Amino acid sequence: MDADAQDRAFMLISGFRVTQMVRAVTELRIPDLVAHEPRSADDLAASAGVQAEPLRRILRCLTAAGVFVETEDGRFAATPISECYRDLPGTLRGPALMLPSESYEAFGALMHTLHTGEPAFEHVFGMSRWEQLAQDPAKAAIFNAAMQSGTEQVRDAVASACEFNGMGSIVDVGGGRGTLIAGILKANPHLRGTVFDVEAGLAETDAYLKQVGVRDRCEIVSGSFFESIPAGHDAYLLKNIVHDWNDEKAAIILATCRKAMKPDACLLLVEQIVPARAEDSAAIPPHLHGRRSDAGDAGRPRANRRRISRVAACSGFAADAGDSNRFPIPADRSGPCLARRRLLATQLPPNPTRPDGRAQRPNGDEERTHRIGQKHAGISKRQHGKAEQI
């Protein structure tokens, strides 16, 4: 048996240990405590309020994993990896706190998804992800922080690549804390904005927009994008929304946007594009995001161009405008954790032949669709993501 293959195979089945250790030291802010100088396990334990010996063992394990460095005198120092878990804008601190908790448990029930085709999250917790967030402010805060950290890596790239000249107002649908729209408003002083989300997603939006200095130019509106969206604005932005719903629900979301739009308004979709073929890559494969058991429909891919065009077209948008409505973003404009990715946004105008914005059943063999007429009681997806093409 190949020794290297065996080592990697073992890491694949034991990686959960490192995942939980990373979560623990991130929660204790150990990466911040060692950021400027090496510190001993006893010193770190005293600062964090935990036992020294268990912390020492965890730090040594994470040193072996490349997260920290142990000095000759037994102290622990920072590395570029530990910097990614610091409590700073654009780092992975939010995901490090979120993913190893609820999502971790849901993936433990992955066999339920394989046997039933249903989301494992609902099987484990007895409710959808979005229902849980609406009921638990603490979990909602962790989720919002994770989404914010991802958006902070790409908001400047999106703001600089997309064309906002001639627009007066923009709505960020499912915008959470307002991280993306804040970047857009700062880059475009003539614009006014609206952050639209469910109440759980807006808990910290007012404070955040005041902190970054754009609150006077941005409204905050709560609601469900399955029902209605603020009307009469020039642009409607959805970032990492379409990917998390099946064709049926995605079409309803876009149709709700279409009903709210003026004839000359546009829809701006920002999504991660799944490549046609899975490849071994040092970058995080989008398929790992697209085969989630914690939310949305089990086994549903994030997005591809054909699917986006199809769902948009059936919701009342001119989705066949060609490449002139696509905005590639060079990789060097993205955040440090996305340096190997290229961003892509798609801007779609309303289809004048479909003024009603009715959602029709999408066709095609890429997605299994359901009857659109059934009742939906979904809760807004607030995931701050990025439009990427690996």
What b/e sequence results for 342-378 when a residue is b if at least 16 CB atoms lie within 10 Å of its CB, and e otherwise? bbbbbbbbbbeebeebebeebeeeebebeebeeeeeb
Eight-class DSSP state of 339: T
Eight-class DSSP state of 350: B
265: helix, coil or strand? Answer: coil
CA distance 368 to 247: 8
**Strand-strand pairing, 192-197 and 76-77:** unpaired
Contact predicate 170/191, CB 8 Å: yes
Contact predicate 333/159, CB 8 Å: no
Q: Assess whether 190 carries a catalytic annotation.
A: no
- Quote the tokens at residue 146: 């994770």
Choose the catalytic residue: 112, 233, 243, 289.
Answer: 243
Eight-class DSSP state of 275: P
> What residues are labeled active site?
243
